Structure 1
Amino acid sequence: MKNRILAGAIALVSSVALGGCGYLSPSAGGDTDVTIWLMKGSASTEFLDKFTTAYEAEHDSVELNFKFQEWGGIGPKVLSALKGGNSPDVIEVGNTQVAQYAESGGLRDLTLESMRDLGSEDWLPGLAEPGSINGVQYGIPWYAANRVVIYNKDLFAQAGIDTPPKNREQWIADTERLDAEGNQGIYLAGQNWYVLAGFIWDEGGELANGEDGDWVGSLDSPAALRGMEFYKKLQALGSGPKDADEENPPQTDVFARGNVAQIISTPGSAALIEQANPELKGKLGYFPIPGKTTKKPGAVFTGGSDLIVPEKAPHRSAGIDVVKALASEKWQRELALAMSYVPNKPKLASAIGSQEGTAAMAEGATQGRATPNSAQWAEVEETNPIKPYMTAVLEGGDPEKAAKSASERISSLLAGG
Structure 2
Amino acid sequence: MRHRRPLALVCVSAALLSACGVLPGEGGGRHTVTVWLMRNSASADFLRRFTADFERTHKDIRLDIRIQDWTGIVDKVQTALKSDSVDAPDVIEVGNTQVPQYVEDGRLTDLTLESMRDWGKEHWLPGLAEPGSDDSRQYGIPWYAANRVVIYRKDLFRKAGITAPPKTRAQWLADTEKLDSGGDQGIYLAGQDWYTLSGFIWDEGGDLAQETDAQWKGALDSPAALRGMDFYRQLQSLGKGPVDADEEHPPQAQVFAGGQVAQIVAVPGLAQSIVQENPELKDEIGYFPVPGLTADHPGAVFTGGSDLVVPQNTDRPYDATAVVGALTGAKWDTDLARTMNYVPNKTTLAGAVAGEEGVAAMAAGAARGRATPHTPDWPAVEADNPIKGYMTKVLDGADPRTEARRASHRITELLAPDFG
Query: Could you tell me the TM-score, scaled by structure 1's length?
Result: 0.92
Which residue matches 1:341?
342
2: distance between equivalents of 1:416 and 1:315? 39
Deviating more after overlay: 210-219 vs 100-109: 210-219
- The answer to whether the aligner puts 1:370 opposite 2:350 as a matched pair is no
**How well do the aligned residues superpose, as a CA RMSD in angstroms?**
1.0
1: distance between equivalents of 2:73 and 2:213? 28
1:58-78 CA-to-partner distances (Å, cap 9, x unmatched) read 111111011011111101110
Deviating more after overlay: 52-61 vs 226-235: 52-61
Which residue matches 2:172?
171
2: distance between equivalents of 1:152 and 1:327? 35
Which residue matches 1:54?
53
Do the aligned residues in 2 keep the contact of 1:376 with 1:416 (CA within 8 Å)?
no
Which residue matches 1:186?
187
1:30 to partner: Cα distance: 5.2
1:212 to partner: Cα distance: 4.9
- The answer to whether the aligner puts 1:293 opposite 2:298 as a matched pair is no
- The answer to whether the aligner puts 1:131 opposite 2:141 as a matched pair is no
Do the aligned residues in 2 keep the contact of 1:193 with 1:386 (CA within 8 Å)?
yes
1:26-69 CA-to-partner distances (Å, cap 9, x unmatched) read xxx95210000000000001111111111111111111011011
1: distance between equivalents of 2:191 and 2:401? 17
1:67-101 CA-to-partner distances (Å, cap 9, x unmatched) read 01111110111001111213210000000000000
Structure 2 SS opposite 1:256: helix
1:354 to partner: Cα distance: 1.1
1: distance between equivalents of 2:29 and 2:336? 25
Higher Rg: 2
Given residue 125 of structure 2, which amino acid in structure 1 is its aligned partner? L
1:303 to partner: Cα distance: 0.2
Do the aligned residues in 2 keep the contact of 1:152 with 1:262 (CA within 8 Å)?
yes
> Kindly tell me: are residues 315 and 290 of structure 1, through their superposed partners in 2, closer, same or farther at Cα, counting changes over 3 Å?
same
2: distance between equivalents of 1:379 and 1:136? 24
Do the aligned residues in 2 keep the contact of 1:82 with 1:312 (CA within 8 Å)?
yes
Given residue 73 of structure 2, which amino acid in structure 1 is its aligned partner? I
Which residue matches 2:15?
none
Which residue matches 1:263?
264
Given residue 250 of structure 2, which amino acid in structure 1 is its aligned partner? P
1: distance between equivalents of 2:293 and 2:29? 54
1:337-356 CA-to-partner distances (Å, cap 9, x unmatched) read 11100001111111111111
1: distance between equivalents of 2:151 and 2:408? 31
Which residue matches 1:400?
401
> Kindly tell me: are residues 328 and 401 of structure 1, through their superposed partners in 2, closer, same or farther at Cα, counting changes over 3 Å?
same
> Kindly tell me: are residues 30 and 241 of structure 1, through their superposed partners in 2, closer, same or farther at Cα, counting changes over 3 Å?
farther
1:213 to partner: Cα distance: 3.4
Give the 5 Å matches for 1:230-309: 230-309=231-310
1:298-341 CA-to-partner distances (Å, cap 9, x unmatched) read 00000000000000012121101100111111111111111100
Which residue matches 2:320?
319
Which residue matches 1:8?
none
1:168 to partner: Cα distance: 0.5
1:211 to partner: Cα distance: 3.5
Do the aligned residues in 2 keep the contact of 1:202 with 1:227 (CA within 8 Å)?
yes
Do the aligned residues in 2 keep the contact of 1:242 with 1:395 (CA within 8 Å)?
yes
Which residue matches 2:23?
none
> Kindly tell me: are residues 272 and 30 of structure 1, through their superposed partners in 2, closer, same or farther at Cα, counting changes over 3 Å?
farther
1: distance between equivalents of 2:212 and 2:404? 21
Which residue matches 1:140?
141
Stretches of structure 2 lacking an aligned partner (at least 5 in a row): 1-27
Structure 1 SS opposite 2:343: coil
Which residue matches 1:223?
224
2: distance between equivalents of 1:251 and 1:271? 13
Which residue matches 2:121?
120
> Kindly tell me: are residues 326 and 398 of structure 1, through their superposed partners in 2, closer, same or farther at Cα, counting changes over 3 Å?
same
Percent identity among equivalent residues?
A: 61
Q: Which runs of at least 4 in structure 1 moved beyond 4 Å after TM superposition?
A: none
Which residue matches 2:42?
43
> Kindly tell me: are residues 361 and 398 of structure 1, through their superposed partners in 2, closer, same or farther at Cα, counting changes over 3 Å?
same
Which residue matches 1:24?
none
1:285 to partner: Cα distance: 0.2
Given residue 39 of structure 1, which amino acid in structure 2 is its aligned partner? M
Deviating more after overlay: 53-62 vs 227-236: 53-62
Do the aligned residues in 2 keep the contact of 1:199 with 1:227 (CA within 8 Å)?
yes
Given residue 351 of structure 2, which amino acid in structure 1 is its aligned partner? S
1: distance between equivalents of 2:221 and 2:184? 34
Aligned residue pair count:
389
Structure 2 SS opposite 1:78: helix
- The answer to whether the aligner puts 1:351 opposite 2:352 as a matched pair is yes
> Kindly tell me: are residues 239 and 180 of structure 1, through their superposed partners in 2, closer, same or farther at Cα, counting changes over 3 Å?
same
Do the aligned residues in 2 keep the contact of 1:209 with 1:215 (CA within 8 Å)?
yes
Structure 2 SS opposite 1:186: coil
Give the 5 Å matches for 1:150-169: 150-169=151-170
Structure 1 SS opposite 2:344: coil
Stretches of structure 1 lacking an aligned partner (at least 5 in a row): 1-28
Structure 2 SS opposite 1:364: helix
Which residue matches 1:391?
392
Structure 2 SS opposite 1:306: strand
